[in-house]
Amino acid sequence: MKPLTTLLCAAQVCWATMACAAPLAITLPPETAVFKSSALPGYPLAQQKCSTCHSADYINFQPPGMTLAQWTAEASKMQQVYGAPISDEDVKIIGAYLAVTCGSARASDAEVQAASNLSPAPADKGDAMALLKNHGCLSCHAIDHKIVGPAYHDVAARYASDPQALAGIASSIQHGSSGKWGDIPMPPFAQLSAQELQALTTFILHQ
């Protein structure tokens, strides 16, 4: 029985050691994948809306030489199957951009130009909630709890006594930011008008 007792004691010591050990911390490497730069209007849309759900590196896993129809179908799948916050117009605009930068299409193709000339579905410029939904902000943020980015309530609390809060938050939205709330960067929303930035920033600061 002595060997069994010894074995049980060793097991108890092992379990006790494991129970007292600090939890394992895993640090992921910083994101390095980026969407390919382009003058096409789908480029900023992809930065803003596609990156709310996945890394730009996801694009590299797709088969090379995909056509405009195939890339548009892929963008449509993100909208229809996975609930990506993109409109029907966004699907075509993003599909055209991806087909040119990662597929077999050319920017001069008539179908690419037709898709690129579409206008994204507008939101009421004064309706902050409509803007948040239309631009995919609620994929990363919530009013009262952290998702990927901070809760708007926490942002408002941090900047409550900052006289430059309105300008600072507007700049972070427009130009993007990193390091303020963790390692995950926020993409820029450069296409927003001054009126839209004002509506969003005012809404955030009143949470």
| Mean model confidence pLDDT for the chain | 84
Segment 146-155 long-range contacts (CB within 8 Å, at least 24 positions apart): 148/52, 148/184, 149/181, 149/184, 149/186, 150/181, 151/207, 152/203, 152/204, 152/207, 153/207, 155/204, 155/205, 155/207
Domains (range + CATH), the chain: 42-116 (1.10.760.10), 128-205 (1.10.760.10)
Inter-residue contact 173 to 197 (CB < 8 Å): yes
CA distances from 69 to 27, 37, 99, 171 (A): 39, 21, 8, 36
**pLDDT over 70 (residue 20):** no
pLDDT band at 57; cut points 50, 70, 90: confident
More confident residue, 10 or 185: 185
pLDDT greater at residue 9 or residue 72: 72
**pLDDT value at 8 more than 80:** no
Mean pLDDT along residues 32-54: 85
Extract the tokens encoding 113: 């130009």
Segment 75-130, tens digit of pLDDT: 999 988 888 878 899 999 999 999 999 999 999 999 999 999 987 666 555 688 88
